[in-house]
Amino acid sequence: MASPKTVVCPSCGFKNKLPLANSRCVSCGAKVVEDLRRTLSRQEELERRYQQEGFNFMWFGISILIQSVLTAALLVGVPMVVPLFDFEGSAGMLVSIPVWFVGGMLVGLISPGKTFIEPVAASFLIAVPTAMFLFQNQTVKTMPSFMYVLLSSLGVLFTLIGSFVGERIQMGPPPKSAD
């Protein structure tokens, strides 16, 4: 003969025999049988709309590739092609900030799901060697080393803003709230 099925109360741990009266635990009265797939309310869905739920290493790698190609193209490639442009020292850092913003926005636009952190981490990894390169090669447009750190931090912040803007463009306008 088959034994009766039991369910364990999540509050007190008591083993209740099924079926339960009013879906309540016999021992403590807590609600026991609840759908395991919790559905979010409309307000909770709207609040979680812009939240990132994990870190995607594939998009982190793509972000590093995009940020490094854009930075190298502008700081090294453009001066090689057009000698009139010389992005050294402070000029190089001031040009890098909008480049990292555009890189973050590109990743936000093309990546599926929500990816805010990946471009920021990639920008941080690109900002360190960029700042070191520009500091070591400065001749005329010089800055103290702490300014390279501050401008690199500003560039990482602008990458976050750019990735958020890219995600907003990708998701479209926010849904209208039902009042």
Domain ranges of the chain: 1-34, 54-171
**DSSP letter, residue 177:** P
The answer, yes or no, to whether residue 111 has pLDDT greater than 50, is yes
Candidates 45, 39, 42, 166; CA nearest to 114 is 166
Confidence of residue 39 (pLDDT cuts 50, 70, 90): low
The answer, yes or no, to whether residue 102 has pLDDT greater than 90, is yes
CB-based contact 118:64 (threshold 8 Å): no
- Rounded Cα–Cα distance for residues 115 and 55 (Å): 8
The answer, yes or no, to whether residue 90 has pLDDT greater than 70, is yes
For residue 45, the surrounding DSSP H or E stretch is: helix 42-47
Work out the mean pLDDT of the chain and round it to a whole number: 84
Confidence of residue 35 (pLDDT cuts 50, 70, 90): very low
Strand spans (E) along 63-104: none
At residue 36, the pLDDT reads: 40
Side chain identity at 160, as an amino acid letter? L
Distant-in-sequence, close-in-space partners of 163: CB < 8 Å, separation ≥ 6: 104, 105, 107, 108, 115, 116, 118, 119, 120
Torsion sign across C-alpha atoms 5, 11, 14, 19? negative
Provide mean pLDDT across the span 2-28. Answer: 77
Model pLDDT for residues 112-163, shown as the tens digit of each residue: 878 889 999 999 999 999 999 999 988 887 889 999 999 999 999 999 999 9
